[in-house]
A and B are shown apart, each in its own frame.
Chain A
Amino acid sequence: MSPKHRGQGWQRADSVSYNSPMHPVDSTTTAEHRVLQLEEALNEAAQINAELQSRDALKTQFLANISHDLRTPLTAIITHAEILRDGILGPLSEKQRDSVASIIGGGRQLLEAVGEILTYARGAANQLTVSPSEFHITAVVAQVAALNEPLVVKKGLSISVDVTPGVPPLVADREQVTHVVSNLLGNAIAFTPSGGRVWVAVTTRGDRGTTQVQVEVGDTGIGIAPEHHDLVFREFAQVDPSPSRRHHGTGLGLTIARRLVELNGGRIWLESQLGEGSRFYFTLPVGDPR
């Protein structure tokens, strides 16, 4: 609605009140003056809004550009380091190999963060598209759990995957769903101290006449206070920056996860208490086999 239309709305409301015997005739001038003031304020607000939107678009473009520019040197760093690690330029001592392995590890971690920023920027600019295909969520969960197994062992945690038999296939963007499961499990591992437990459970649920697949990713970790539950899905927000930094988060992971789940027609939420672990859930509608 344009400011002009909104202005007309205000005028109609005022014309009712100054015809009333409760209001003296000279209030007409005041009312007209107020209408003008409001119209001006609305115009100004519309201009500020347009300017903010344009700045937001610039910020998004900047993030996309910077992500691309970071990937190129990272590609060179990682490739050179792998050439050294694999002894292509001659054998390395064990210490040299360890050192080079750290360069590769750090490089891959940076690459992941850059990828996350790029996904966020594309999401913010509504440039994320869904490429649906039919697949079983159990295959995705098994794949992500297997990839995380070494990290789980390294941190001294245990992991379990529990799938209710007969979960139907989904029609969704497999890569995006994999990203969500991977993000949630990565967080569960990162925020659970040694000796703890992480799990993934897949079930089917009926929701308002439709069948949904529900994925739960839980942990016995540090937990999140209920007043911070909304905050964790908000971009750049960190409940407590210190542990998050310890775990190298960009603060965008859950914002992206929510966007990807919603793009695929689902819903994401959490249940958690401080000190009592967290359980993140997301649902996705089941594909029609016809």
Chain B
Amino acid sequence: MEARPHILIVDDSADVTGALRVLFEETGNDVSVANTIRDAVAVADARIIDVMLLDLTLPDGDGLSVLATMRARATEPRVTAALTGRAEPEIAARCTAAGCRAVLVKPVPIAELLRRVREWTA
């Protein structure tokens, strides 16, 4: 049997991670959740992440900094998508420069989110 894709959701809101966990678990993925940069790095140390959905504002710093840390430890996810509150061009540019494949504005319609994640994990 083919392994289920592993999704890491990084967001400091338990309400948001709870909703996304249900969405991805119920559609055939394994899900990990991290509320801080430190936790996200620890999850990626422990297993291979296919897709990371990354909030930009985390309690212990700028969400995007997690990418550089993971890169240095060779634990960077295959695909990272930023989840932001607003789609401002300067934010989008910062995300792309940091290595994000996509910048998605919360709340992302679930049909779109599932379509993107399926595409990335195909």
- Interface of A toward B, CB cutoff 8 Å: 68, 71-76, 78-80, 82-83, 86, 88-89, 111, 115, 118, 129, 131, 175
Contact = CB atoms under 8 A, between A and B. Distances in A.
B13 A89 contact: no
B22 A89 contact: yes
A112 B15 CA distance: 20
Contact of B26 (A68, A83, A115): A83
Contacts of A83: 19, 22-23, 26, 110
A74 B111 contact: no
Contacts of B94: none
Contacts of B109: 82
Contact of A79 (B86, B89, B107): B107
16 contacts: A68-B85, A73-B13, A74-B107, A75-B19, A75-B106, A76-B16, A76-B19, A79-B20, A83-B19, A83-B22, A111-B107, A115-B86, A118-B86, A129-B90, A175-B87, A175-B89
A51 B42 CA distance: 47
B37 to A, nearest CB: 18
Given A72-B15, A86-B111, A89-B22, 8 more contacts: A71-B106, A76-B16, A79-B20, A82-B111, A86-B110, A89-B26, A131-B90, A175-B89
Interface string B46-60: 000000000000000
Chain A interface, >50% SS class = helix
Among B13, B16, B87, B110, residue most surrounded by chain A Cβ atoms (within 10 Å): B110
B13 A80 contact: no
A118 B27 CA distance: 34
Interface string B80-117: 00000111111000000000000000110111000000
Interface in B8-57: 13, 15-16, 18-20, 22-23, 26-27
Given A72-B13, A76-B13, A79-B16, A88 B107 contact: no
Given A88-B23, A88-B27, A79 B110 contact: yes
B82 to A, nearest CB: 14
Contacts of B89: 131, 175
A169 to B, nearest CB: 18
B99 to A, nearest CB: 22
Nearest to A84: B22
A129 B93 CA distance: 15
A127 to B, nearest CB: 10
Contacts of A118: 86
Nearest to B110: A82
Contacts of A89: 22, 26
Nearest to A68: B85
A110 to B, nearest CB: 11
Contacts of B22: 80, 83, 88-89
A134 B66 CA distance: 35
Nearest to A107: B107
